[in-house]
Structure 1
């Protein structure tokens, strides 16, 4: 079988290894020497974990992280959301229902300090910052089902109920923590994970080795989760291949080699901006336990019939530890099934350099949406973004992709096949089989006949969040169709008075329009508005735009079908000046 030559840029695998952090806890109560035999085992998930809904009634449940509101949203935040949005659109095109959640994380010491610095009450500060994320996501056309804020009453109720279950099952004990704490990362770190650096003023300070954020020494009484009890269950869960891309799995397994217990509260006199520990008003629940429970909150927990488990958590590589170690351990402890997949993606650099305010190279996603439109910008993110390695953003690169793929390859092909000069009847013609065999080469016939299998390739890639591969597969067929136009010159055939030439023209138009139809259906998760305009122009009814319609020929009636209204150029070329 002939396959198209595809130009797919494969990037070197980026292995991310996170060193194991050892927390030094001094227990104030004697730990039992024997671990409790738990009911939950990952060997037979369906029998041992509490299932909220039957498999048939569960929607596809996809989430993004909830984003910290200490700063304005950036391109990395939008990338996470666009990945999840594209996946949710695809699941709907497959005929399923979807629960897609995103939101903002609004508790913790960092937020408390940021509000104080802004001279604003903490909730007022969170209201202002959370709105920035919601405005961006709405501007980007993100079709989330639920936007959760951790300051909501429903979330507080879910967190405190989850705490009561963990505590009631004996998985939390009172302890004393001594060690380093990173306010910026809202994380405890070991001595080995810190280093001393000199500031510009020559002062020596201790920072985290990874993010180089300042750390402070802490010694306080708090509650501790028995994380070390869950090593075997976490290992079995990982054995199911839940971490994607697989390149990130090694870093998670390294964390399990020495799994210390985890502090899950802070003294309330040090951290007041958070959810109080039930029945102990001297303690505040640790921000990461609080934040992770958001996935239960949007699922309807703790009420009966809540949607669980998530099909996929989309997360950045910097928070993989929390989602792939702490979170599944919390869930197993509560007799709930861990997530079925964690899609971990890498970060974005700018011209190969890490984004930072000091360098002045932080990409404002709202500004780029204004310049390029939401569809074009998300196209670039999904086309260029490769989950297993850092993406490189440049305005010139974005403009090149948009103009080359959307304007030239897709838009021009539509114009060349629907213009009055080559398609004066404004029809989507039927295929004349005899003329098809006569005037189309065996190579092109085989290529065209393979396009009905494009769904399988795209579905495989979209389902694994490799949108860049699915997009390239579609673009390769669109490039082939452009080549077909160049070879057969429909503008010349249209001028001919020969009946044979007219039949030849309609064969070419059919092949091109059918390629556009299938491509338009498959591009809906990537460029939903542009794809809708494309399908409208082709006259495709809204009820015939599901994924399954890309697997079979469109025309089954004996009549040619009329094209839809001409609404002008599909997408205007972006000028070089606009990108600067």
Structure 2
């Protein structure tokens, strides 16, 4: 982005050019008090992914972004039922010099390339169960209207001026760079080639006249926003990173390019010699989706949670909030930032040939299996590594063996011949640990299990609120292991229904295990929707009994009736999750090689 000394920003005043101090001009900031940012009617929530650039096919990093947003949205719907109060958008970013160049290299018109790659993203997301309510393409007419209106608002508020820019531009990253962010790298002929210090992509020296946004005026408002709201950006590492960036100078931002060089984009209103900068264009998509510039968009903004990769943090955490403030709007409510995926310790790269095709993974490991892997193993704070053996080991251990094995044990005809949700016996499992009596069978470890599963929904909700879905799944997995330990400890297969001393305890062991499974299935719905549906249906849990708002656990233990007790189980559907044995893992590895 444009980060150059003030002396290189020049204002055009007819026949002569004069220096323009970066802090000159009217100061227009957000007209909405930041304290009112969460005051959105009807408790609405709006989740977004980045819109993905269509210069190449989607990879697992794109899918990971979409899955994070999808899980956040699904979890909220379980907590606050009513699709009308929740929106979730994704889409494709289709303008810019990089698209123009990629299309030319392939002998295609830019629109043809965009249609082709955007369709690949839409197909992937459909196959992966991404339940978005909107898919936006920046080549749509509604988006052009929104962008040009947003531009006019900035212009009328005195926040745009025309000037000359001279500095480095990276076409691959679609951004201007200061001298400090440029280094020299040895080229093929041994020459020193300028490249971006962060991405390693080539840069070129550019001098041109374009429109400039008075970004420098928003450094203090941005600092106040982030200091007043420590949860605006999560995880905290990235919040602190943005604060550190804002300690430095914040130069004005070039927001247009010459149309003669960049024709594939949205024209500046009233000036066809200029094309609106692709990042300003792209960021406005979040407003386009909710109806901007129609006033109805205000019922959704700023109840917004952006899910983004760390490589686009500066665009979303500095430029976008500043642009919004300049247009008289509040920043988004939350910006959730995640790190990247590597492959066997290396960055994914077409040149290295190690880009993982997400559609192939969905086919190999099932949709729910691969969703679970990415969300269970992906840690937003740091880069995570992918390799096939890791997927096989995790899914075999946690879905096939631990969760699937637990369900099979509880529903097997040999120990549950009646095919029902058995009754719970308070005499065998009193509510107070340490109770004595001829029928008491519960042990101290069993009470620990009850405490753990009772607190699990709140624990999981807190992890979702803190953008720690991986920790939510870790907590569920831990309780699944505890439940398996409970069943193993009491070995219901050694008990019989015919023996009066065994029957109440056998029913109680199965009842407790099924109650745990019901909680696990309910909590896994945002991550593995089909698997969770299969599990809950097998337990006889209806579609109206799967929300989080009224999720109860072990009601009879607490002295209340249990609506599931005695209920007939759902039909047998085979294995909950197929085990990926070592022979199959070898086949997958050989196929990739």
The answer to whether the superposition gives a TM-score over 0.5 is yes
1:558-569 paired onto structure 2 within 5 Å:
560-569=566-575
CA distance in 2, matches of 1:351, 1:21: 38
Kindly provide the CA deviation profile for residues 482-523 of structure 1, in whole angstroms up to 9, marking residues without a partner as x.
Answer: 1111111111113x6311111111010011000000010001
CA distance in 1, matches of 2:5, 2:137: 31
Q: 452, 458, 463: which is aligned to 1:461?
A: 463
Matched, 1:204 2:197: no
SS of the aligned residue for 2:209 comes to strand
Q: 354, 357, 371: which is aligned to 1:364?
A: 357
2:502 is aligned to 501
Q: 1:559 to 1:320 in 2, by over 3 A?
A: closer
TM (norm. structure 1) is 0.93
1:23-422 paired onto structure 2 within 5 Å:
24-28=8-12, 30=20, 36=26, 38=28, 40=30, 44-46=34-36, 55-57=40-42, 59-96=44-81, 97-239=85-227, 240-241=229-230, 242-256=232-246, 257-306=248-297, 307-422=300-415
CA contact (8 A) 2:94 2:114 kept: yes
SS of the aligned residue for 1:562 comes to coil
Q: 1:558 to 1:513 in 2, by over 3 A?
A: closer
CA distance in 2, matches of 1:190, 1:37: 25
Matched, 1:577 2:579: no
CA distance in 2, matches of 1:275, 1:232: 31
SS of the aligned residue for 1:518 comes to helix
Following TM superposition, by how much is the alpha carbon of 1:352 offset from its aligned partner in structure 2, in angstroms?
Answer: 1.5
CA contact (8 A) 2:2 2:178 kept: no
SS of the aligned residue for 2:121 comes to helix
TM (norm. structure 2) is 0.91
Matched, 1:445 2:450: no
Unaligned runs of 5+ in 1: 1-17
SS of the aligned residue for 1:420 comes to coil
Between the two proteins, the alignment pairs up a number of residues equal to 557
CA distance in 2, matches of 1:579, 1:59: 44
Q: 1:386 to 1:42 in 2, by over 3 A?
A: farther
Q: 1:528 to 1:224 in 2, by over 3 A?
A: same
CA distance in 1, matches of 2:323, 2:27: 16
Bigger relative contact order, structure 1 or 2 (CA pairs below 8 A, ≥6 apart): 1
Q: 1:472 to 1:558 in 2, by over 3 A?
A: closer
SS of the aligned residue for 1:200 comes to coil
CA contact (8 A) 1:312 1:341 kept: yes
SS of the aligned residue for 2:264 comes to coil
Q: CA RMSD in A?
A: 1.9
CA distance in 1, matches of 2:141, 2:224: 35
Q: 1:134 to 1:515 in 2, by over 3 A?
A: same
Unaligned runs of 5+ in 2: 14-19, 431-439, 556-560
Kindly provide the CA deviation profile for residues 240-265 of structure 1, in whole angstroms up to 9, marking residues without a partner as x.
Answer: 12110010123212322210000000
1:3 is aligned to none
Tell me whether 350-359 or 158-167 shows the greater mean CA deviation. 350-359
Following TM superposition, by how much is the alpha carbon of 1:55 offset from its aligned partner in structure 2, in angstroms?
Answer: 2.4
CA distance in 1, matches of 2:235, 2:26: 34
SS of the aligned residue for 1:195 comes to strand
Kindly provide the CA deviation profile for residues 424-444 of structure 1, in whole angstroms up to 9, marking residues without a partner as x.
Answer: 011112211001231111331
